């Protein structure tokens, strides 16, 4: 085992993990690193087009299980959960990575109020806020009643209301703030039934993916992370989570993000 192999040993042995939004960017890297993790039994990689998920040639893919899932299509979420209900009895980690800031169809983060478009606002809510909620609705019932488990959603510092000093990005900021409320609500309700469950939001930092690529020019030197580094940092945080983290939003460096 190499010294930088990620571990999830706080959640047990041979655990199943689910990555939603696995096709590109951070999601694909979560899948890659989890396939190398000695504590993981199976990696369920859910995305809109599983055929588009390509991994480096040296990735051990025997434990990879692609699933078709669109977070804006509840029937597809229910169908994917039904597959796991049939084939998995050790789901311990649910990772919501799917997110949207801009689309090839023309959705762009708003610079000013005049840029706001109702359809873009609603689409951001559907993917960034409603997506994690529906994933929780259908997959949480597969979690263990008392063993340690984690439900984590990729959030963003710009979703913090208290930290907002720049303005702009109405749809993304508002949808990530809504996602944070969803995570907080889940952290209150779900542990009543799943006593070992921790629900958190995670901010990965600014990471070199298609999502951030149009906005990287002003990122300070050393603050644009590779996906490899960002995912390694977040998996270390997930493995170290404790009861004091329940319902919070945690940045890549372990700091709490204010609501």
**Site for ligand NAP, rule CB under 6 A:** 21, 23-27, 47-49, 70-72, 97-100, 127, 154, 156, 203-204, 206-207, 209-212
Sequence-ordered list of residues with C-beta below 8 angstroms from that of 84, at least 6 positions apart, any chain: 16, 18, 44, 67, 91, 139, 142
* Euclidean distance between CA atoms 109 and 93, whole angstroms: 31
Are the CB atoms for 196 and 147 separated by under 8 Å?
yes
State the minimum distance, in angstroms, from the CB of residue 230 to ligand NAP: 8
State the minimum distance, in angstroms, from the CB of residue 195 to ligand NAP: 28
Output 142 or 154, the one with its CB closest to ligand NAP. 154
Give me the count of residues in the chain: 259
Output 172 or 194, the one with its CB closest to ligand NAP. 172
* Euclidean distance between CA atoms 90 and 205, whole angstroms: 30
State the minimum distance, in angstroms, from the CB of residue 12 to ligand NAP: 26
Output 164 or 196, the one with its CB closest to ligand NAP. 164
Q: How far is CA 17 from the centre of its chain?
A: 12
Output 90 or 209, the one with its CB closest to ligand NAP. 209
State the minimum distance, in angstroms, from the CB of residue 233 to ligand NAP: 12
Token couple for 35: 């396939």
């Amino acid at each position: 085992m190499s010294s930088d192999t990620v571990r999830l040993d706080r959640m047990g042995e041979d655990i199943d993990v689910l990555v939603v939004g696995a096709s590109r960017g951070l999601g694909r890297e979560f899948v890659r690193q989890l396939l190398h993790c000695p504590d993981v039994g199976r990696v369920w990689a859910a995305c809109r087009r599983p055929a588009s998920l390509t991994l480096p040639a040296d990735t051990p893919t025997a434990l990879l299980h692609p699933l078709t899932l669109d977070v804006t299509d509840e029937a597809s979420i229910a169908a994917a959960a039904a597959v796991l209900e049939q084939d998995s009895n050790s789901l311990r980690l649910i990772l919501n990575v799917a997110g949207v800031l801009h689309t090839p169809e023309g959705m762009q983060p708003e610079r000013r109020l005049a840029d706001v478009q109702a359809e873009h606002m609603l689409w951001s809510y559907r993917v960034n806020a409603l997506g994690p909620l529906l994933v929780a609705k259908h997959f949480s019932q597969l979690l263990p009643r008392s063993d340690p488990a984690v439900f984590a959603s990729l959030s963003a510092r710009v979703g913090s209301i208290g930290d907002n000093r720049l303005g702009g990005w109405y749809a993304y900021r508002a949808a990530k703030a809504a996602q944070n409320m969803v995570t907080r609500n889940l952290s209150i309700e779900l542990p009543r039934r799943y006593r070992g469950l921790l629900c958190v939001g995670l901010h990965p930092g600014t990471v070199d993916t298609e999502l951030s690529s149009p906005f990287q020019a002003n990122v300070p030197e050393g603050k644009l992370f590779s996906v490899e580094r960002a995912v390694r940092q977040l998996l270390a945080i997930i493995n170290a989570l404790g009861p004091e983290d329940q319902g919070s939003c945690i940045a890549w460096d372990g700091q709490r993000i204010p609501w």
